[in-house]
Structure formats: structure tokens, C-alpha cells
């Protein structure tokens, strides 16, 4: 079996792993690096549960091969909090009950953190369209959108 050796950076840490060419980055993160925060909901880029950032770009890790991570910088849900200090988004999600089963939550947090970095003052419509690729079956999205909008407001007021 010929696996490929990949050197990459995840949440600021240099890591390496061996993977088959057919393994996705999602497979590698979960099965090789024990970072199980990203989830496989569909494997085909339709649900966003596997969302990560790749060189600061929001992507589905199921649509990236493990070997494509070479030399890149990856951000996962495990890297959003600062040690014990939760990101305001994470805080707000808990407070607003913006999660029920929680399977979509890692993907949505990665996606919304990326949104607020790019656009600190999104409208409700902009938030909804940004998150169109993150499926949630439990909440109907209402409390999620409210949590994101209010966090954006809090962050703007704080700065």
C-alpha cells in the first residue's frame, strides 16, 4: 500500500499524516489526526457539516483530498476557541439555544466565523445565503440566525 506523506498546519500546529490518495481531507482530519469535530453528513458537498477553512477560505473538507492539504493552513472547529475562552459565537450559540442535536454546529461555527471576518455587518439575508450550504434539520435556522446577527452586533460594538 502506498500512502502519501502530507505536511500541513492545523489550527496553528504543524502536523503530518499518511493517507491514501483517495482519502479526503475530512477522512484525514478525523481518522489520521483525531480531529473529529468536522463531520461527514453527506460526503458530497451538500450539507456543510465538514466545513473547515483552507488558507482562510471556507470549504467543505469532503471536497478536498488529503494530499491537497500539503503546505496549507487549515482551521477547524477545534481551533475557534482560545484555550478555555470561547469565541463570542460559541457563547451565543449556547445562550440562544442555537443548537439542538449539535451535529451541524461545528460546520456552522466555522462558516459563521469566516463570514464575520469577511463581513462584520451582514444583513439577515446575507447570513442566510452565506449559510445555505450548512444544513440543519433540528432548528429551522431561526435561533442560529439570531445568534449570528447578535454576535455580529456585539463584536461591532466592542470594537
Partner 1 sequence: MALDNQKNREFKVVGTRPDRPDGLDKVTGRAKFGADAYATGMLHAAILRSPHAHAKILSINTQKAEALKGVKAVVTRKDFSTSVTGENWNVLENVMAGDTALYDGHAIAAIAATSSLIARDAIKLIEITYDIIPHVTDVDKAMENGAPIIRANAGDGSVPKGMHPNVVRYHESGHGDLEAGFSSADLVIEDTFKTEATHQGYIEPHACLAQLGGDGKGELWCCTQGHFQVQKVCAALLDIETSALRVTASEIGGGFGGKTAIFIEPVALALSRKTNRPVKLVMSRSEVFRATGPTSSTSMDIKIGMKKDGTITAGSGIFRLQGGAFPGAPMEFTAMCAFAPYNLQNVQQIGYDVLNNRPKQAAYRAPGSPMAAFAVESVIDELCNQLKLDPIEVRLKNASKEGTKASFGPKWDKIGLVECLESAKNHPHYSSPLLEGQGRGISSGFWFNHGGETAVSLALSEDGTAALSVGTPDIGGSRASMCQFAAEELGIPYEKIRTTIADTATLGYNEVSHGSRVTYATGLATIKAARDAVKKLCARAANKWEIDEDAVIWEDGCAKPSGPNAGSFEPMPLAEITKKMGKTGGPIVGHFEATPEGAGVSFATHIVDAEVDQETGKTKIIKYTVIQDAGKAIHPSYVEGQYQGGAAQGIGWALNEEYIYGDDGRLQNSGFLDYRIPVASDLPMIDTVIVEVPNPGHPYGVRGVGETSICPPLAAIANAVSNAAGVRLKELPMSPVRILEALENKA
Partner 2 sequence: MEYHKPGSFEEATTIANNNNGIIRFLAGGTDVLVQLRSDILTPDVLIDIKHIEGVKDISYDDDGWHIGIAVSGAEMSEHEQLAKEWPGVVEAMDLIGSTQVQGRATLVGNLCNGSPAADGVPSLISARAQVTVTGPNGTRMVNVEDIPIGPGKTSLSKGELVSALHLPKRTKNQADAYLRFIPRTEMDIAVVGCAVNLEIENDLIINARVSLGAVAPTALLLETAAKKIIGSKLDDRALNQLSQEASKACKPIDDKRGTIRFRTHVAGVLAKRTAKIAYDRARAER
Q: Which residues of this chain interact with partner 2, rule CB under 8 A?
A: 4, 21-22, 24, 43-46, 48, 51, 54, 57-60, 62-65, 67-68, 111, 114-115, 129-134
DSSP one-letter code for 31: I
8 A C-beta contact, residue 34 and residue 19: no
Sign, Cα dihedral of 19, 25, 28, 31: negative
**Residues binding partner 1: number (CB under 8 A):** 61
9 binds, among partner 2, partner 1, none (CB under 5 to 8 A by kind): none
Q: Does 90 bind partner 1 (CB under 8 A)?
A: yes
* Percentages of the chain per state (helix, strand, coil), in multiples of 5: 40, 20, 40
Angle at 67 between CA 65 and CA 69, to 5 degrees: 85
Binding site for partner 1 (CB under 8 A): 20, 22-23, 30-31, 34-44, 46-47, 49, 76-78, 80-81, 86, 90, 93-97, 99-106, 109, 124-125, 127-129, 131-146
Amino acid at each position: 500500500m502506498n500512502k502519501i506523506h502530507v505536511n500541513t498546519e492545523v489550527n496553528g500546529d504543524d502536523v503530518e499524516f499518511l493517507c491514501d490518495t483517495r482519502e479526503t481531507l475530512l477522512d484525514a482530519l478525523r481518522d489520521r489526526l483525531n480531529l473529529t469535530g468536522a463531520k461527514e453528513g453527506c460526503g458530497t458537498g451538500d450539507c456543510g457539516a465538514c466545513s473547515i477553512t483552507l488558507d482562510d477560505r471556507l470549504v467543505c473538507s469532503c471536497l478536498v483530498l488529503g494530499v491537497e492539504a500539503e503546505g496549507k493552513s487549515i482551521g477547524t472547529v477545534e481551533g475557534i476557541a482560545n484555550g478555555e475562552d470561547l469565541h463570542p459565537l460559541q457563547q451565543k450559540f449556547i445562550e440562544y439555544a442555537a443548537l439542538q442535536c449539535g451535529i451541524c454546529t461545528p460546520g456552522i461555527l466555522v462558516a459563521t466565523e469566516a463570514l464575520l471576518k469577511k463581513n462584520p455587518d451582514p444583513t439577515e439575508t446575507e447570513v442566510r445565503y452565506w449559510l445555505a450550504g450548512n444544513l440543519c434539520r433540528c432548528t429551522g435556522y431561526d435561533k442560529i440566525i439570531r445568534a449570528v446577527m447578535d454576535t455580529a452586533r456585539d463584536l461591532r460594538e466592542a470594537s
